[in-house]
Amino acid sequence: MRATLALSALLVACGGAGGTGPTTGPVEDPAALTEQAEAAWAELDPEAAAELAERAIAAGGGTVALEIAGRAHLAMGHDDAALEALGPATSPHLRRLRARAHLGRGDFAAAAAELEGDDDPWAESVRPALAAVGGRPAYQVRGDAAELAMEALPLPVVRVRVDAVETLAVIATSAELTVLDPSVRAAPGVIDELGLGGVRVGVVPHTVRDLGALREGLGVPIGAVLGLDLLTRLHARIDGPGATLGLSSTASAPSAGATVAAYSTPTGSFLAVAGAVAGQPVWLTVDSTGVYPVALVPGADEALGLEDAGWEAADGVDVAVVPVSVGAMRIEGLPVVRGVLDEGHARAVGAPVAGALGWALLAQLVTRFDPERRQLVFE
C-alpha cells in the first residue's frame, strides 16, 4: 500500500442527462473532483492534480480547487498555466501564487503588484526587492563559467562580492532569493553587480534578514545567502567532495553513471525531488543548509511505517538507519533523523513532503542543476 502524508478516500458518482432531448454530457461534481485533486496532490502526482482541479474549477469549484491547480502547475514549472488556472484571484493566498508564477516568468513588476497591500511576512519581505527591479531585465550574466572554492566549514560557504563589498555567502538550496545581512545592505532592493569568481550577475533582487544565527553557528562573518534564483540560472554544480561551487551559463550533459532526479517546485519556490524512504515513495525537499543526512517532518515516521525502525536518541534528536532512494540512487543504510523539522516545514513548502535531504548527505555528492530539464544530477 502506498504511503502518503495526507490521504483522501472518495467515491465518485457521475450522471448524465436523461430524456430524449439534446444532452450536454455527464455533469461533473466539483466537490468530488476537488477531493480527487487533493488525493492526487497527496499521491505526488501534480499532473493529475492539475487536470482534476481544472475540471473542478470548470464545474464551479471554489478556492481549494484554484489553489491545487495553481500549486500543481507551479510545481511542474508551468507558470503560464498557473496564471490561467488561478484567473483574476482576489484572496491574498491565491494572489501570492500568482506572484510566484509571475516570478517564474521573469515579470518582477507584475509579481510586486500582486503583493501590494499584503501583510504576509513573505510578501512584505520580497515585494520591495521585486519592485526595485522595475522594468529592467534581471539577472544579467557576464562571463561563461566560474569555480569558487568552499570554505572549510560545516556548511557550503563561498566568497562573493556584493557591489564593492566582499563577504562570505552560504549556498542555500532552500532559499528562494538572494538574502543579504543588514551589515551588507540595510533594506531590500537590487544588487547592481554580484561577483561570483569569473561570473558577474547584474540586477539581482535581494531580501534582507539578520544572518546572525549563521555567523554564530559557523564562527565566520556570513553576509549573504545564495538561493535558488542564482543556483538554477547559473546551472550550479555543488561539488561536496571537491569543496567547490561551479557556475556556468549553459548546462552540461550528465556523466556516465550519474543519477538523474526530476525536481518540482511546490509553490514555485521550494525545491523537492521524488524519492523513497524505507521503500515508500515520498517528496523530499533539498536543503544544503541542513546539518543532517535526511530529516523527517513530524508524523512521517508513522505514515511510512517506521515507528519500530530502531530509533535511538542522539544530540536531542532521534536517529534510525533505513534505506533511502533519490531517483535511481539507492543508499541501503542512511541515518534519518526526526525532531529537527517542525510541522511548519510542509506548510511552508505547500506540498505533502515527508522531509528533507541535508548537507550531511549532499556533501558526499556532486549535485548539478539542470533547470531546462527540471532535474538534479547526482554524481
Span 324-339, mean pLDDT? 93
Does the pLDDT at position 302 exceed 60?
yes
User: Does position 23 have pLDDT exceeding 60, yes or no?
Assistant: no
Model pLDDT for residues 134-185, shown as the tens digit of each residue: 889 999 999 999 999 999 999 999 999 999 999 999 999 999 999 999 999 9
Q: What is the pLDDT of residue 354?
A: 93
**Count of H helices and E strands in the chain?**
12, 20
According to DSSP H, which parts of the chain are helical? 30-42, 46-58, 63-75, 79-86, 92-105, 108-114, 121-133, 212-218, 228-233, 300-303, 344-349, 359-362
Cβ-proximal residues to 340 (8 Å cutoff; 6+ apart), any chain: 290, 292, 295, 317
With a CB cutoff of 8 Å and minimum separation 6, the contacts of 269 are 100, 176, 228
**Arithmetic mean of pLDDT, 346-367:** 91
User: Does any domain span residue 216?
Assistant: yes
**346 is a domain residue:** yes
**Residue 81's beta-bridge partner residues?**
none
Amino acid, res. 101:
A
Q: Does residue 244 fall inside a structural domain?
A: no
Phi, psi of 276 (to 5 degrees): -150, 145
The range of the structural domain enclosing residue 226 comes to: 140-233
Q: Is 299 a member of any domain? A: yes
Residue 25 pLDDT greater than 60, yes or no: no
Domain shared by 267 and 366, yes or no:
yes
- Contacts of 302 by beta carbon, 8 Å cutoff, 6+ apart: none
Query: What is the number of domains present in the chain?
Result: 3
Q: What pTM was computed for the model?
A: 0.88
How far apart, in whole angstroms, are the C-alpha atoms of residue 57 and residue 51? Answer: 10
Q: Answer whether residue 68 is part of any domain.
A: yes
Q: Are residues 118 and 196 in the same domain?
A: no
Domain end call among 133, 168, 187: 133
Q: Are residues 229 and 316 in the same domain?
A: no
Are residue 341 and residue 283 in the same domain, yes or no?
yes
Res 345: pLDDT? 85
pLDDT tens, position by position, 114-133: 999 999 999 999 999 999 99
| Residue 303 neighbours by CB under 8 Å, 6+ apart | 3, 4, 5, 354
Here the CATH number for the domain that contains residue 361 is 2.40.70.10
Q: Do 265 and 353 belong together in one domain? A: yes
With 0-12 / 13-18 / 19 or more C-beta atoms within 10 angstroms meaning exposed / middle / buried, residue 333 is exposed
Q: Are residues 98 and 147 in the same domain?
A: no
Give tens-digit pLDDT for 82-111.
999 999 888 999 999 999 999 999 999 999
Higher pLDDT, 26 or 185: 185
Residue 269 has pLDDT above 80, yes or no: no
Gyration radius (Cα) of the chain, Å? 22
Above pLDDT 90, what percent of the chain? Answer: 80
Q: What is the mean pLDDT of the chain?
A: 90
